[in-house]
Amino acid sequence: MSDPAAWLLGKTERANTDTRLDDRHEGDVAWSEGNLARPLVDGASYFARLHEVLSATRAGDLVLLTDWQGDADELLTGEPGSEVLEVLAQADERGVDVRGLVWRSHLDQAGFFATSNRHLGEQLQARGAEVLLDMRVRAGGSHHQKFVVVRHRDDPARDVAFVGGIDLAHNRRDDSRHHGDPQGRRLSPEYGDTPPWHDAQVELRGPVVHDVETVFRERWDDPTPLSSAPWRRVADRLRRLDTTPDPLPPQLPPPPPAGDHVVQLLRTYPDLRLDRDYPFARGGERSVARGYSKAVGRAERIVYIEDQYFWGHDVAGVFEQRLADQPELRLLVVIPLATDVTGFNRTAQLLGRRRALRRLERVAPGRVAAYGIENHAGTPIYVHAKVCVVDDTWASTGSDNFNRRSWTHDSELTAVVLDDDYARDLRLRLAAEHLDRLDLLDPARDGTDLVDVMADCLDPADMFERYAEHARRLEEWHAAGQEGERPPGRLRPLPLPSAPPRVQPLARALLAQVHDPDGRPGGIRGSRHY
């Protein structure tokens, strides 16, 4: 097993003396041992597992959740009665203590979902669960963490946490075929009424569940009012919304060991400014950015990324020197073919993509590649996953994207698993989906396992070439008018259009101030330090 201290942040490197996240760890250790991590790729897989776990809870158990976007009527299994509202409310009615923090959201008119988030909180409160709307964020920011913790009073060996990028919301319940969630919400026109959606979550068991619970408890126990806006407080009183968190029950000891995985939690909290701050992260925490920087600084063969954004000079700066120093290192990125916004907002976001990728291609020509994915009907698949695998050793799954906003401005949580087999298998599982090989993993066929099916991708350089070959063949098939049988695979080369020079200054300003703002304290804002 790799040395955790060489790959993971210590307490000193986390650089947050206010948190109690690492209090139970000795010395400079800021990670947890004895865990079992299981990747859940695509929302249907996660929702089915979450439904199973929540439905098995009993009186005296504890359920904690955070959400960036929530829809009360989203079906976890596709069957009536599996709605998010029903599953959580019924658990509370059985005597389970259900607590939640849902981001209050910016206005619907700005393209967000304040109404659906508020309705989720209102309806759960009406059924007895204490799910609150949390707007303790930096101006223009959000609580972007998406995790669930389930503690079992009488059987701690069953304790579990889910961490990743999947909200309890419409669009998310898609599977590996990527026909889209039947409960769709429109994005940009390219994606249609039920956008195909690719995402990831990780199921965690063992002592790390206590750590994820601590992340929730720190936010819940923050004495700052849930919203500082007077009009929101008036509206809450008129709606009789609960805005005062009740004390949580005492935290149970960590669950017993469940496996051999080392897991570290990385977070982003912004510097809130204006004489208020998180009591558990004064000046903010930027261990997500620090953790990526440390891991990439050890990369020798491959960094494999699936992400919603991947843009900006800050992102490029993390990879630039390492790519220059390591002639065998390859960077492979899968992001959406089309952004989920249109108009000038899209121009700004595409500028950010181009900035990062072109800069890295100049440093390492032939060793940097970016792709989007489509389903078999030719509809782009929206990549919402936030996954990074470094040298089949270090693997992260979380809520954070590769941009400055996620590294400095919004609240984020990611789980890093340090284990060679786990990291390799996660990379190969994602590749198997994009290369159309998942059907070969059906155990009813011949017991063929992932390593056998993906033997030509085991070596990172070979996987880099397989992606290029499949994308080239599919692109040629499209260019030839889609004549003949469609080639296997879903990968398409990522377009990187350049904005006209006359609009670039405005696009750069929009990118820097709206889409990719800097949430660091003034002393380091705009620098390369986190």
What is the pLDDT averaged over residues 364-387? 98
Integer Cα distance of 36 and 205 in angstroms: 5
Q: Contact 34/156 with Cβ under 8 angstroms?
A: no
Q: Is the pLDDT of residue 443 over 80?
A: no
What is the pLDDT averaged over residues 366-393? 98
Return phi, psi of residue 387, to 5°: -130, 140
**Do the two domains 24-259 and 296-403+413-515 of this chain adopt the same fold?**
yes
What is the percentage of the chain residues whose pLDDT exceeds 70?
98
**What's residue 228's pLDDT?**
82
Give 284: exposed, middle or buried? Use CB within 10 Å, 0-12, 13-18, 19+. Answer: buried
What is the pLDDT averaged over residues 335-362? 95
Integer Cα distance of 309 and 386 in angstroms: 9
What is the percentage of the chain residues whose pLDDT exceeds 90?
88
Q: Is the pLDDT of residue 109 over 70?
A: no
Model pLDDT for residues 380-427, shown as the tens digit of each residue:
999 999 999 999 999 999 999 999 999 999 999 999 999 999 999 999
Q: Contact 400/204 with Cβ under 8 angstroms?
A: no
Integer Cα distance of 148 and 490 in angstroms: 31
* Total residues belonging to the chain: 530
Least confident piece of the model among 359-368, 484-493, 516-525:
516-525
Q: Is the pLDDT of residue 432 over 80?
A: yes
Q: Contact 326/320 with Cβ under 8 angstroms?
A: no
What does pLDDT average to over the chain? Answer: 94
**What's residue 275's pLDDT?**
64
Least confident piece of the model among 233-237, 241-245, 455-459, 516-520:
233-237
Query: How many helices (H) does the chain have, and how many strands (E)?
Result: 15, 18
Q: Is the pLDDT of residue 110 over 70?
A: no
Does the pTM exceed 0.75? yes
CATH of the domain spanning 24-259: 3.30.870.10
Q: Contact 371/494 with Cβ under 8 angstroms?
A: yes
**What's residue 131's pLDDT?**
93
| Every domain of the chain and the residues it spans | 24-259, 296-403+413-515
Model pLDDT for residues 234-254, shown as the tens digit of each residue:
888 878 888 889 999 999 999
Tokens of 215: 């992340």
**SS3 track for 287-319:** HHHHHHHHHHCCCCCEEEEECCCCCCHHHHHHH
Q: Contact 136/268 with Cβ under 8 angstroms?
A: no
Residue 52, classed as helix, strand or coil, is: helix
Residue 25, classed as helix, strand or coil, is: coil
**What's residue 344's pLDDT?**
93
296-403+413-515 domain in CATH 3.30.870.10? yes
Model pLDDT for residues 204-216, shown as the tens digit of each residue:
999 999 999 999 9
What is the pLDDT averaged over residues 41-61? 98
Q: Which residue has the tokens 């700052």?
A: 224
CA dist list (Å): 432 to 179, 374, 429, 436, 463:
17, 14, 5, 6, 11
Least confident piece of the model among 123-132, 162-171, 470-479:
123-132
**What's residue 445's pLDDT?**
52
Model pLDDT for residues 12-49, shown as the tens digit of each residue:
999 999 999 999 999 999 999 999 999 999 999 999 99
Beta strands in 385-483 (DSSP E): 387-390, 394-398, 412-418
**What's residue 296's pLDDT?**
98
Q: How confident is the model at residue 112 (pLDDT cuts 50, 70, 90)?
A: confident
Q: Is the pLDDT of residue 448 over 80?
A: no
Of 234 and 457, which is predicted with more confidence?
457
Integer Cα distance of 18 and 278 in angstroms: 9
Q: Is the pLDDT of residue 276 over 90?
A: no
Q: Contact 74/170 with Cβ under 8 angstroms?
A: yes
| Beta strands 200-205 and 160-164, pairing class | antiparallel
Q: How confident is the model at residue 447 (pLDDT cuts 50, 70, 90)?
A: low
Q: How confident is the model at residue 444 (pLDDT cuts 50, 70, 90)?
A: low
Integer Cα distance of 10 and 21 in angstroms: 12
